[in-house]
Structure 1
Amino acid sequence: MTARLPIVALIVYPDFSPFHFSVPYMMFSAQLPEGRLFELRIVSSDARPLAAERAMTVQPDGGLELVDIADIVVVPGWHDLNVRPDAALVAALARAHARGAYVVGLCYGAYVLAYAGLLDGRRASTHWMAEADFSVRFPRVKLDMNALYVDEERLITSAGTGAGLDCCLYLVREWCGPKIANKVARTMVIPPHREGGQAQFIEQPVAASTEDSQVNRLLDYLRENLATQHSIDDLAARAATSRRTFTRHFHKATGMTLGDWLVNERLQQTRELLETTAIPVERISELTGFQTPLALRQHFKKRFHVSPRDWRRTFGEKAGAEQR
């Protein structure tokens, strides 16, 4: 007797994103020479067709009754972060999880799971642009802003856009094993596993000027001399203040200690050099003031969760450049 295929219920909602819909649609409708891997069912709350953001309408296979028979339920994004999912959808997701199904929120789909209360007290991920908003709305959720995806007791959430592919491939691996997941990854021309996390894609703002003109002049000096080693005593003397006064004014103006500010600026310059030049890491460590390649790599890995070499491979302009 042929084993039943796992059933995936893919939720559509008003003004859904075609991309976020297509990621799980393609992944869970994939067909290998061995056959189909999943039974995909498209679901809308009232079983009626729904339009995407523009120029696309989806005909669902049925309503929320399909969620009640699904092994995996996927919410691919969400159209408005201020809009709570309707009570029927919330109840269907809660029932699905209670009976043992996987419930998945891709990107802003994490909001739907959070509104439903399913993520309370649990780890979750979402797009990094929503970090502040999500944290305020759902203080009981333990937001992990580096993870590409999080699986917490069959409640799975992912970071933005491309991380949906990583998350769906993870589900293929969980249900079908690594061999099949690797085949799917090759078919879709994506890596079976990505190193690092969301931190490498988060925009790191350049420190703005402060309202303290004396500190601003000092910051300009430091940016022009990052390769130099700076002590608090030397900088206090340069600013004609005591060590204690300098430390207090610097922290008040920048919100950071001198050490943290220097590391942040040196990492910014390191990223720029990795992306725009072929300069070896050994030389970059000298130019940015990290003193040793090991120190640079340690700070870089701690901040971005990838190595300088992997950063250059991902974001560098010269694909054939020497990477160390």
Structure 2
Amino acid sequence: MHSHLVVAVAYDRLCTFEFGCVVELFALPRPELGVDWYRFAVCAAEGGPIRAAGGVTMTAPYTLKLLDRADTIIIPGWRDADETPPEPLLRKLRAAARRGARLCSICSGVFVLAAAGVLDGKTVTTHWRYADKLRARYPSLRVESDALYVDEETIVTAAGSAAGLDMLLHLVRRDHGGAVANRVAQRLVVPPHRDGGQAQFVPRPMPPEDDGGRLARLIDWMRAHASSAHTIESLATRAAMSGRTLQRRFREATGLGPYEWLIRERVALAKDMLETRPRLSIGVVAERAGFGSEESMRRHFRRIAMTSPAAYRQRFARGSAR
């Protein structure tokens, strides 16, 4: 049995950030994890040296023929959403899709997969700036313009730039479980998990910082005490502002009301327990995450994570109980 082969496709005018994220996640050996870690390689979409963003010039050690053996293929952001990708690359992607390889894209890389015809009828995402163009050009796609990443089993697409890192950690989570993905995230010094359905950031006026940092301190405190019971009144009292002011400023700062924000934090807590503590019953997870009842957790979990707690545990739990 060979290790899972991940291949990143490089091309002229390559986005160094997105490409670098892929290299950082999959190319570094991680013997401390005790799992059959990935093999990683880079192939060139075209001949000649590759000029990357920032003035970097690089060469890739493999040609597109390597895609015939890849288990996962990752397309970083394509250089121009209006430029048709090279036909040899598109042919290789179609062949990979037919044999069941996992095809992934970051940002405008989704235009390459779409041009190959492997996304028809799929739900996908891209950077919010490209969403309308993607819909117009490929009307058979269901474009989730407000998602960080979308997992359709053998097709996984991510929004812009940093959302690609979330998608890559999600792939690790799928392949090796939540505990391993969390350790990789810790090494990267990034949050362990952001839901694919979490909204992309869309520019909005920043709230005036005239509260002496009270809202920021409140949010930090709420995150540390997400499993506790809270009311708008108790939160407003802690922040030393009225309930109406709290709700307005909270929404300006986060895009969510305080209650919905808390629910999402509790779902994140529940996910962590479902992944890493397989001996805890669903009811105990619901109680420790602050939902009050198993039914309440199931309802919110399904709404936010698009699956049930039990199904989530079955998919992502690994290892022994802590």
Partner Cα separation in structure 2 for residue 177 and residue 59 of structure 1: 34
- 1:49 Cα offset (Å): 3.0
Is the counterpart of residue 278 in structure 1 residue 239 in structure 2? no
Aligned to 1:52: 52
Question: Helix, strand or coil: the match of 2:103?
Answer: strand
Aligned to 2:155: 155
- 1:176 Cα offset (Å): 2.1
Asked if the contact 1:48–1:60 (Cα under 8 Å) also holds between the matched residues in 2, the reply is no
Aligned to 1:104: 104
Partner Cα separation in structure 1 for residue 198 and residue 82 of structure 2: 24
- 1:77 Cα offset (Å): 0.7
Aligned to 2:15: 17
Aligned to 1:130: 130
1:24-103 equivalence runs, <5 A = 24-32=22-30, 33=32, 34=34, 37-46=37-46, 48-103=48-103
- 1:42 Cα offset (Å): 0.5
Asked if the contact 1:274–1:308 (Cα under 8 Å) also holds between the matched residues in 2, the reply is no
- 1:134 Cα offset (Å): 1.8
Question: Helix, strand or coil: the match of 1:301?
Answer: coil
Partner Cα separation in structure 2 for residue 109 and residue 135 of structure 1: 15
Cα shift readout 1:105-153 (whole Å, capped 9, x = no counterpart) = 1111111111222222110011112122222222221011222111113
- 1:91 Cα offset (Å): 1.0
Cα shift readout 1:83-105 (whole Å, capped 9, x = no counterpart) = 11111111111111111110011
* C-alpha spacing 1:15/1:289, structure 2 compared with 1 (3 Å): closer
* C-alpha spacing 1:196/1:174, structure 2 compared with 1 (3 Å): closer
* C-alpha spacing 1:307/1:133, structure 2 compared with 1 (3 Å): farther
Aligned residues: 239
- 1:45 Cα offset (Å): 2.6
Asked if the contact 2:147–2:200 (Cα under 8 Å) also holds between the matched residues in 1, the reply is no
Amino acid at match of 1:69: R
Aligned to 1:316: none
Cα shift readout 1:168-190 (whole Å, capped 9, x = no counterpart) = 11111222222221221111111
* C-alpha spacing 1:284/1:50, structure 2 compared with 1 (3 Å): farther
- 1:70 Cα offset (Å): 0.3
Partner Cα separation in structure 1 for residue 203 and residue 242 of structure 2: 21
Is the counterpart of residue 187 in structure 1 residue 187 in structure 2? yes
Partner Cα separation in structure 2 for residue 108 and residue 35 of structure 1: 32
Q: Could you list the runs of 4 or more consecutive aligned residues of structure 1 that deviate by over 6 angstroms after TM superposition? A: 273-276
Aligned to 2:5: 7
Asked if the contact 1:300–1:308 (Cα under 8 Å) also holds between the matched residues in 2, the reply is no
Partner Cα separation in structure 2 for residue 69 and residue 196 of structure 1: 28
Question: Helix, strand or coil: the match of 1:186?
Answer: helix
Aligned to 2:116: 116
Amino acid at match of 1:10: A
RMSD: 3.2
Asked if the contact 1:47–1:62 (Cα under 8 Å) also holds between the matched residues in 2, the reply is no
* C-alpha spacing 1:60/1:278, structure 2 compared with 1 (3 Å): same
Partner Cα separation in structure 2 for residue 41 and residue 289 of structure 1: 49
Partner Cα separation in structure 2 for residue 309 and residue 171 of structure 1: 21
- 1:79 Cα offset (Å): 0.5
* Bigger shift: residues 51-60 or 118-127: 51-60
- 1:46 Cα offset (Å): 4.0
Question: Helix, strand or coil: the match of 2:74?
Answer: strand
- 1:306 Cα offset (Å): 4.1
Asked if the contact 2:182–2:193 (Cα under 8 Å) also holds between the matched residues in 1, the reply is no
Amino acid at match of 2:28: A
Q: Which runs of 5+ in 1 are unaligned?
A: 205-267, 311-324
- 1:19 Cα offset (Å): 0.7
Amino acid at match of 1:161: S
Aligned to 2:164: 164
Amino acid at match of 1:108: S
Partner Cα separation in structure 1 for residue 247 and residue 94 of structure 2: 53
Cα shift readout 1:200-256 (whole Å, capped 9, x = no counterpart) = 51124xxxxxxxxxxxxxxxxxxxxxxxxxxxxxxxxxxxxxxxxxxxxxxxxxxxx
Asked if the contact 1:47–1:61 (Cα under 8 Å) also holds between the matched residues in 2, the reply is no
Partner Cα separation in structure 2 for residue 156 and residue 274 of structure 1: 42
Question: Helix, strand or coil: the match of 2:183?
Answer: helix
* C-alpha spacing 1:31/1:110, structure 2 compared with 1 (3 Å): same
- 1:54 Cα offset (Å): 3.3
Partner Cα separation in structure 1 for residue 177 and residue 247 of structure 2: 46
Aligned to 2:306: none
Partner Cα separation in structure 2 for residue 150 and residue 185 of structure 1: 19
Amino acid at match of 1:132: D
Amino acid at match of 1:4: H
